[in-house]
Structure 1
């Protein structure tokens, strides 16, 4: 199959540190190539891939602040480059939100769009009422709640290469928070859990866009004893950090669309302790890959018994549910479905 993967230009594919969407695009692209498909990746020029790369700009926009004055200009160029080569593909897979909708609905080439963010905003209702013909895939079943009018053709959970992270059956004495410093990610509760449990907390996270004031507010907490702020980290550092952790804290207070760091922890055999928000009940198998709790106190109670957790079983469930190969196979099924419907 001839497949185009279209990424936004904010981060390279894959990103050097933070960037869940671009990381998933990379894992999917490489797995499709491995399976024998002809894949082209439309992305920034500093992306690394074994597929054919169409570099729209030399460097990702968030890595090149001088260039990123009006990012819409470069994304229009991205779409134009895709359209120039449209006849080379059996299907075009967009990971670029929705700016391409007015154009692709007029294309003869089959296409699929995967939104990677939350979909519960009120303005999306009139938008998708207009664009009910655009085929979409969700990254969790819960992501599509409230938008039944959109044309969802399937759900594909994120997946990771099995060799990316290794099982660690002998953790150290700390817990970890991984991801983004934003109010909806529950950093405050993670700090409270660590304090009440009497455990060291390591925080490896990027400050969310527009969340500088929130970060400044938390800084005094980060400087306290038993709290270590690491900033952004690489995959290699993440493997060591997650593998050595007693648990990953994921106390989000928003409708999380997926939560990539949860399956990264599972890949190391590290349990996830999370609130039942958004995709969490869909991703975490309670008692096997982690624990779904209602509040800080319940998280503390779980941590008091965390030494009995079966980390090998956790890794096994991860391999069964969240491999990059399974993700790629699921997307191939959706591609075939979309192509068949286009031919009708």
Structure 2
């Protein structure tokens, strides 16, 4: 039993690498004991804002066995999205979060995870499982941490010692016993750069982000008008925000990704402020055809542009 468990684990990790994932780790599919009180407090304090879906399926978020019958292992993969060519990020430039430059990561990772699951079923036999990418109630950072892929930083993003924090996370939950990896130490130390740099004070304490104060929340999740009290605090971010990651010392190790689908649409590199301000439905559809930016729709993007208009 044991030798096949470790052989299967080795096989799966090798395949994940071949499919282009940067890291792959395994955890036992147990109840997330330590996450339960934290999630409960976070929700009770309304830190999810209007993200009502965060309050749904509380039990499923904490127990993978409620998502996949007889789940035994959670495989977590990381896929780097740090761009080789960054879009302009000066004081007077409108800014897009780097994760939204190219094709929506849901498509890219889901395809790779499906290939991994197909491979497991071909090589190992009847294995039941499901792929998750930021979808369904899976606490991906908690699983990545359990699988030894990094630690959760004070900004609540997962940090990996080798490549920083600019990566997407996906999971396969399987009814197959694999060899689990152990968690690693937290290496944030006394650093508070992310807390100090957040213009809307969304990181209300180490390891606690009030989602309802985050620029990403205002520019992506919030469907109504942005509250006046944060006017002038967006540093021109119009979709998402990378400030807490950009200032993190661990991101000096960020390396350019190797996934062509994540490259920005060529027109974006030369986009001027007036082009952002006058963007039409046709241009929006062409540039963001397969991008996560579609989530805001054109009206949402226009609202964000108008709200964070550079004063200089």
Instruction: Indicate whether the TM-score tops 0.5.
Output: no
- Give the TM-score taking structure 1 as reference length: 0.27
- RCO greater where, 1 or 2, for CA within 8 Å and sep 6 or more? 2
- Give the TM-score taking structure 2 as reference length: 0.29
| Bigger strand fraction | 1
